[in-house]
Structure 1
Amino acid sequence: MKRLIAATLVAAMGVSLLTGCGVSNKSHDNTQVGTTENSSDKAKNKEVKMHVWCSKDDVDITTQMIESFKEANKGTDFNIIIEESEDSDARDNILSNVHNGADVFPIADDQITSMVAGGALYEIEDVDAVKKANDESAVEAATIDGKLYGYPLTADNGYFMYYNKNYFSDSDVATLDGMLDIAGANGKYLTMDWSSGWYLYSFFGNTGLDFGVNDDGVTNHCNWNAIITDIKGVDIAQAMLDIAAKPGFKNCVQDDFIAGVQDGSIIAGVSGCWNAAKIKELWGDDYGAVKLPTYTCAGQQIQMSSFKGYKYMAVNAYTKYPEWANKLAQWFTNEDNQKLRFEMKNVGPANKAAAADDAVKKVPAIMAVMDQAQYGKLQRVGNSYWDAATEFGEKMAAGNPDNTDLQEIMDNLVAGITQSVAE
């Protein structure tokens, strides 16, 4: 259930407080997409009532942007209602009841395909303008069959290496072995979450091995157990066991990473921009961030890869006011508001002009995630990947305590990743 929170109000009527009902109980009174009856031209000088979803942490900035939108579009009475909803829930909430979903809402790129398949997203018409203003990869990630379905909002949904400059020089952070040796020599830790397939992908992405979702959008293909490739699956498994055996390595989840930074036991770790403000607070001038390092595998230095991603403002295909909803989504993602989002939330802009701002270039975390993106891949995976990756990662982090044959481990991993839904 999403909580209505007093958002923005009918401009001519002042502030009114809306409370109580959730998304599943409210009605937007939407009708068929794009009908003349529902054109925003017909609604000119009448009340335009729209719903916007945003996360709890984004309520203040969303409210501010809506107020400036109303100011820029005087002459129309807007009743724009904000509802708290986590970005990660957008797909499920929209597809479960698209007619009563928000008119405008944020989504991550990996949600777009299924939402388009479900007929839930409004196709963006002014594609050339969006392409001109925004990061090319961000536009491509929201494009399906040549059609664009989201206005790029952020370009920082990825991970990289945080490090404490009091312990590491710029050259030290080039290799994982070097960083682990420094951490161990100081009785400290470098951390990574091997229980998460999101981070685990970093060991496989630049090895020449194959992995991805099939055309059905549900099952995966994967050859991480390959034995005739330059880098074999068992080579990666052995490399991870070697890393896990180093005294400077610690496998831990994100909350434990921050706790370790706080108590001084952790001096480096793989994470994302969402922790930048806290790391800056704890390490101060010693806070550093850089692309992921190389790691040793089969006698080679392999650049660690990553999943990368983008966020967008999308428009409900069944909005009652498609023109106004698109204008609002554009407003949320224009240059000025992406700069504002950076200033208030410290997130990386997808807008090219905003990303080129000197203030953005001074944030190590944003520069690191953008640098890492060249070694990244969009997250397009079927659900069977996650549990299989977790089981494998935790076994490697524990040092393969049962001494299971590595080829058997890799065969089991691939079998889990590629299994069908029915299995």
Structure 2
Amino acid sequence: MKVKKLGALMMSAVLAAGFMTGCGNKDAGTGNASKDNTTQAQGETGTEDVTLKIWVPEEEVEITDQMVKNFDAEHDEFNITYEIAVVGIDEAPQAVETDADTAADIFYTPSGGVADMAAKGLLLPVTKDFDTISADLPESALTAVTVDGLTYAVPFSPNTYFMYYNKDLFTEEEVKNLDTMMAKDLGDGKWNFSTQITNSWYIESFFLGAGCTLFGPDGKDAADCSFNDESGLAAGEYLIDLATNPKYLEDADGVGGSAFKEGNLGAVTSGAWSAIEFKEALGDKLGAVALPTANIGGKEVQLSNFVDFKTITVKSNTAYPLCAQQLAVYLANPENSLTRYKEQGDVPVLKSLADSDDIKNDFVASALNDQAALATNQPSIPQMGDYWTPAQALGEGIYNGDITKANLQDNLDALVDSITGTLTE
């Protein structure tokens, strides 16, 4: 019988001491990890000594600790020492790129950055045990993590936003169309709608909804962006009108969310991460639905935002590739995905769970799944990195009034050139 050497860097004493209070890169304690993790030692019993570093968001530390313990209990071939540190899903990719040698063996990353990291040689293809869940994944999730036929990440939850609304202010029928919502008089001191025009992860819903494409229809043509065509111009004009409407509230620094919780806002775009606080504030008055349609350029179109997936990845230079791959898949299996959903609200991507009564009876989960079906897969080619800053600048220019209908086309042309570099070639 093997002797376990488990050390989760997440002890209650450490938590009480306040080591887990932020979203930066902080160790959550120390484990039994003194041995050299560049070698794979085999004990007399045939078990392999394994040392793994795992990065997870702060809210996932405790459940990850238990998941690793459960994995270790099921795998007599490994004698695992591990440490868990807090690194946010949006912070991990850059941290790995900065110093892969000291980075975690297993970490969370958005699927939108998977192709870029794979192209830079930072990710290990996940092949061991992946077939145990691959058939349960939707095609969109598989596509998002597959590069040149190899799977580089394990998806566990759709990552997109939808719309929450106050049932006292809007009906189920009214929230189907944004123009209907904006036309309603909600009374003094109230706003009708809030999103983030100044955020490049939110502004695209108007352009994609209008029929524009980013990197072509399949998201893989680095030289193609149609945000400056006739449909893009119509989307930009719609945003200018929206930004100048006194019934609109820009959700900068949580202003929209705060107004919504206070009952002074009819609807706001956000994701499943806001469900707990919104439910606490509004109770039975809270509703959640997919994004509405809007009349853009004389056509009623469905707003279509980016959808990517929260994934679990393995760094390419891990000293323990076999165990790391198996653990990455294990952390996203049905049992653990359901635990993550119940504890943290991450709606599972696995079809068997998404179709279950537990998820279908959750109106927030249903709204997420409904919007994911209407959304556009976030491109995962490396050039996606050229989109974020220019798109944010466009949104800021529109919201601040620097971009008007008179100079909109020039600014859209500049946006496309910044993203693709093709207009000045």
Q: TM-score w.r.t. structure 1 length?
A: 0.84
Q: Which residue of 2 aligns with 1:5?
A: none
Q: Which residue of 1 aligns with 2:237?
A: 238
Structure 2 counterparts to residues 212-231 of structure 1, below 5 A: 212=215, 221-227=224-230, 231=231
**Relative to structure 1, is the Cα distance of residues 399 and 300 closer, same or farther in structure 2, using a 3 angstrom cutoff?**
farther
Preserved CA contact (<8 Å) 2:249 2:256: no
Preserved CA contact (<8 Å) 1:194 1:200: yes
- Could you list the per-position Cα deviations for residues 265-301 of structure 1 after superposition, in whole angstroms to 9, with x for gaps in the alignment? 2221111111111111111111111111111112211
CA distance in 1, matches of 2:219, 2:267: 39
Structure 2 counterparts to residues 335-350 of structure 1, below 5 A: 335-350=334-349
CA distance in 1, matches of 2:8, 2:241: 61
Q: Which amino acid aligns with 1:148?
A: T
Q: Which residue of 2 aligns with 1:66?
A: 68
Q: Does 1:152 align with 2:129?
A: no
**Relative to structure 1, is the Cα distance of residues 103 and 41 closer, same or farther in structure 2, using a 3 angstrom cutoff?**
farther
Q: Which amino acid aligns with 1:321?
A: Y
Q: Which residue of 1 aligns with 2:297?
A: 298
Partner SS state of residue 382, structure 1: helix
**Relative to structure 1, is the Cα distance of residues 39 and 105 closer, same or farther in structure 2, using a 3 angstrom cutoff?**
farther
Q: Which of 136, 140, 147 matches 1:137?
A: 140
1:101 deviation in Å?
2.3
Q: Which runs of 5+ in 2 are unaligned?
A: 20-24, 28-32
Partner SS state of residue 212, structure 1: coil
**Relative to structure 1, is the Cα distance of residues 93 and 171 closer, same or farther in structure 2, using a 3 angstrom cutoff?**
same
1:334 deviation in Å?
0.8
1:85 deviation in Å?
1.3
CA distance in 1, matches of 2:397, 2:246: 17
Preserved CA contact (<8 Å) 2:9 2:84: no
Structure 2 counterparts to residues 19-418 of structure 1, below 5 A: 29=36, 38=40, 44-74=46-76, 76-125=78-127, 126-155=129-158, 157-182=159-184, 184-185=186-187, 187-189=189-191, 190-212=193-215, 221-227=224-230, 231=231, 233-253=232-252, 255-380=254-379, 382-398=384-400, 404-418=406-420
Partner SS state of residue 310, structure 1: strand
| Equivalences, count | 401
1:108 deviation in Å?
1.1
1:141 deviation in Å?
0.7
- Could you list the per-position Cα deviations for residues 62-96 of structure 1 after superposition, in whole angstroms to 9, with x for gaps in the alignment? 11212222232357432111112111122222223
CA distance in 2, matches of 1:119, 1:15: 28
Preserved CA contact (<8 Å) 1:121 1:317: yes
Partner SS state of residue 255, structure 1: helix
Q: Which of 7, 11, 15 matches 2:4?
A: 11
**Relative to structure 1, is the Cα distance of residues 262 and 154 closer, same or farther in structure 2, using a 3 angstrom cutoff?**
same
Q: Which runs of 5+ in 1 are unaligned?
A: 1-9, 32-36
**Relative to structure 1, is the Cα distance of residues 329 and 40 closer, same or farther in structure 2, using a 3 angstrom cutoff?**
farther
**Identity, % of aligned pairs?**
29
CA distance in 1, matches of 2:373, 2:44: 46
Preserved CA contact (<8 Å) 1:48 1:76: yes
Cα RMSD after superposing both structures: 3.4
Preserved CA contact (<8 Å) 1:291 1:369: yes
Q: TM-score w.r.t. structure 2 length?
A: 0.83
CA distance in 2, matches of 1:296, 1:215: 25
Q: Which amino acid aligns with 2:55?
A: W
1:139 deviation in Å?
1.5
Q: Which amino acid aligns with 1:276?
A: A
Preserved CA contact (<8 Å) 2:154 2:329: yes
